[in-house]
Amino acid sequence: MNKLKRQKIFEIWQQNNPNPTTELRYNSSFELLIAVILSAQATDASVNKATDKLYLIANTPKTMLALGETRLMEYIQSIGLYKTKAKNIIKTCQILIEQHNGQVPYERKSLEALPGVGRKTANVVLNTAFGELTMAVDTHIFRIANRINLAPGKNVHEVEEHLLKVTPKKFLKNAHHWLILHGRYICTAKKPKCGQCPIYALCEFKQKEDYL
């Protein structure tokens, strides 16, 4: 895909959604961090349903740690891998208190050192909470980058590096959200809604006519 096409695609996404953000509900960087940890292999809707109740009881590292692993599991048991996530969250809270004064660090190395936090989770927090120009490549973004030839790559790291290179800088802060929302609601995995796609004329998906 050429530079002009990419520019136009991001312009259209910006016009349609000037201020995109995550669909996870949160009121602090800590709440966002916990929600993103919980969202691995789970839907944002299922995470929101759990955290809406959880955050009324515990929404800081101190109160979450006091809640404990067993009680935490009661709030998140509807989410996949909840036992492992509960263990990681409690350990993360302990580290935040002991090493970061109870605050979510805004350095990648410190974030990725937290249990349950990988590169993608760190990128989401850095971008959404702190405004860093990062690209958190999930299954949606990986699919779209390859399917429409926006920034193809063999793995998530290649796609991340490619997107950071070819996305015009003025769109980088919001690009992650536009791509996820496009993949979640329009360019879906099995039956992409090509007939509803705002970037259809610019898309290089070879089979797109099959979905009109």
Among the options 44, 83, 120, 210, which is catalytic?
A: 120
Closest CA to 187 of 138, 137, 160, 147: 147
Q: What are the DSSP calls for 52-87, one per residue?
A: HHHHHH--SHHHHHHHHHHHHHHHHTTSTTHHHHHH
120 labelled catalytic = yes
| Amino acid found at 101 | N
Among the options 138, 193, 206, 210, which is catalytic?
A: 138
CA distance 2 to 135: 20
138 labelled catalytic = yes
Q: What are the DSSP calls for 91-153, one per residue?
A: HHHHHHHHHHTTS---SHHHHHTSTT--HHHHHHHHHHTT--------HHHHHHHHHSSSS--
| Amino acid found at 44 | D
Do the Cβ atoms of 176 and 127 come closer than 8 Å? yes
Which amino acids are annotated catalytic? Answer: 120, 138
